[in-house]
Copies of this chain bind each other. A is one copy, B any other.
């Protein structure tokens, strides 16, 4: 394989993915669904955040969850324990969800008409950045235990996201993490990035996060 062949193969993979993503987006728009693609390092708190989000939404809108992981059904089970429908995708050796997988999942799940679709990607701050799933927004979760420098060191993900949730802020008293610096770094990569500081443990930031979701759902219902 030469360098040129590699580039052609990557373009082929991403081109096919973009076609599937466009189909997903059209399908979701036709049903007024607001779809989010949650991306982060492993263990930044995506599932814990989703469980707390669903608990607070308390059935106020239709919703469904797609879970991506290399192995296990653990995350889908945590979601189902809230009463919400969840479909688990196991990627095996794969390091990200792609739009074809999500399209198939959309045919199996009850579609949340005029509601919310939450897609939790495989925990990986690199590869999922390149794959459009047909979502309205990528939401990147950065936990305060990971260090302030992550946006500059893994910039593609922070460039691809529209919202950053700075998670686990309840742990700040026990860390040297400088939240203002992390946000400054993230905005150097993506000046338009919105930021909400939150904690699933203390509940901090959930009003802002739920408000942001409500605005997106309203827009998807009345485009």
Contact = CB atoms under 8 A, between A and B. Distances in A.
Given A1-B9, A43-B150, A171-B171, A123 B123 contact: no
Contacts of A75: 153
A93 B7 CA distance: 12
A194 interface: no
A72 interface: yes
A145 B12 contact: no
Nearest to A78: B149
Interface string A130-170: 10000000000001011101101111100000000000100
A219 interface: no
Cβ-closest 8 pairs across A and B: A43-B146, A95-B126, A145-B145, A41-B42, A41-B41, A42-B125, A43-B147, A174-B174
Interface of A: 1, 9, 12-13, 16, 41-43, 69-72, 74-75, 93-95, 122-127, 130, 143, 145-147, 149-150, 152-156, 168, 171, 174
